Amino acid sequence: MTWAFKRQAFYLVVLILFFGVFGFLIISPKLNKTPTCFDNKQNGTETGVDCGGSCAIACLAQTDPVSILWARAFRVIPGRYNAVAYFENHNKNTVINKINYRFRFADGNNVYIGKREGSTYIPASGSFAVFEPGIDIGNSIPVYTTFEFTDPVPKWTQVSQEKINQLKVLVSNINLVGEDTSPVLSATLKNTSLFTIPDVDVVAILYDANGNAVSTSRTYLNQLAPEEIKNINFTWPEPLPNKVVEKEIIPMYNIDLVKLK
């Protein structure tokens, strides 16, 4: 083997090594790409494709559907009604930040007389209500009310259990007066956390001795500051149709909007 041939072989080996290292540097990041929640693959800590584990999106297969317990329309004054649907979310730490829905109303002959559409959020773990006020259906009386979520695939989001545990709005001093004249329900809300809670909807449901909902109402708070206490009131323009034996007050807020002060 001549000296010239050895030198050519050496240069060839160096050239091959150069292009090999260069190619490896180009290909390696693609082969060892850090898993993300948006790469259309199940990797990292995910329990599904781009869901579960450390991803914000919860896997649909690992969530339970929301139970619709009842939906009704309640008369406010002749010709105007409030519609309420009552639910149970069985998922402990998953929420829906926005989902569309539809109420439908029918008269005593099951003839369709109107609908109301809107959007809401679904809080984690527990009972909640969707409230639609001031429904005008003329001279018709809504005897049958149905409710449905209209989004084909709900988008569940995971929330840390620590945040859920810290966020507590306590209800106390519940008092109902004037049932037979002009009913007024009062209560006290207390934000026991260090979070600022914006856009708080508070739904009140009154029940008779048989556990049937008698009437409902809603009030709204711009926000509950950390450790703030607020007195709230619900009013009705007409006497209640039945004797009230139980009162339920449900503070509702979108946990995704809640921030530390």
pLDDT in tens, 217-256: 999 999 999 999 999 999 999 999 999 999 999 999 999 9
**Mean per-residue pLDDT, 101-115:** 96
Look up residue 3 and give its two tokens: 């000296």
What is the pLDDT at residue 20? 56
Mean pLDDT (the chain, rounded): 89
Architecture of domain 167-261: Sandwich (2.60)
* Beta bridge partner(s), residue 135: 81
What is the pLDDT at residue 19? 54
Using CA atoms, how far apart are residues 58 and 82, in angstroms rounded to an integer?
A: 33
**pLDDT category, 33, cuts 50, 70, 90?**
low
What is the pLDDT at residue 7? 56
Distances (CA, A) of 79 to 76, 85, 135, 217, 219: 8, 20, 8, 17, 21
- Where exactly are the structural domains of the chain? 44-159, 167-261
Range from 39-43, 59-63, 154-158 that averages highest in pLDDT: 154-158
245 phi-psi bin (left φ>0, alpha ψ -120 to 50, beta other): alpha
| Right CATH for 44-159 from 3.20.20.70, 2.60.40.3230, 1.10.287.3510, 3.30.310.50 | 2.60.40.3230
Residue 16, helix vs strand vs coil: helix
Range from 17-31, 55-69, 203-217 that averages highest in pLDDT: 203-217
The reply to whether 167-261 shares the fold of 44-159 is yes
Q: Is a pLDDT exceeding 90 seen at residue 204?
A: yes
How many Cα atoms are found within 13 Å in the side-chain-facing hemisphere of 239?
A: 6
The rounded percent of the chain whose pLDDT value lies above 70 is 87
Scanning 75-140, the segments in alpha helix (DSSP H) are: none
**pLDDT category, 186, cuts 50, 70, 90?**
very high
Using CA atoms, how far apart are residues 5 and 34, in angstroms rounded to an integer?
A: 45
Q: Is a pLDDT exceeding 90 seen at residue 24?
A: no
